Amino acid sequence: MGAFLRPEVRFYTNDPIKSSRTDFDLLVGANVSWTPVKYLALGATVSFIDNFSNSGPAEYDVVTPGLVLSARIAF
């Protein structure tokens, strides 16, 4: 199990909505993985992205779920 937090700042010098637009993105999420046998792992993640912009119409929120299946083959 784990959690993650990723802040990000973006600068747009030539944006059609607003010149010199600045966005602050905040990505927050959690993940979990399970290894039932030595060469097989299952994982799931969910994340939430919140965008704060100095141009109101450019703000957004996104929730992203994900499911991962991985296998390792060894000789």
- Output the pLDDT for position 75: 64
Q: In 3D, which of 39, 54, 47, 48 has the Cα closest to residue 9? A: 54
Q: Is the pTM of this model over 0.85?
A: no
- Hey, what are 58's tokens? 């450019």
- Output the pLDDT for position 6: 92
- Hey, what are 5's tokens? 């937090």
User: CA 1, CA 31: separation in Å to the nearest integer?
Assistant: 6
**Beta bridge pairs of residue 30:** 3, 46
Top-confidence residue, 5 or 11: 5
Separation of CA 59 from chain center: 16
User: CA 11, CA 21: separation in Å to the nearest integer?
Assistant: 6
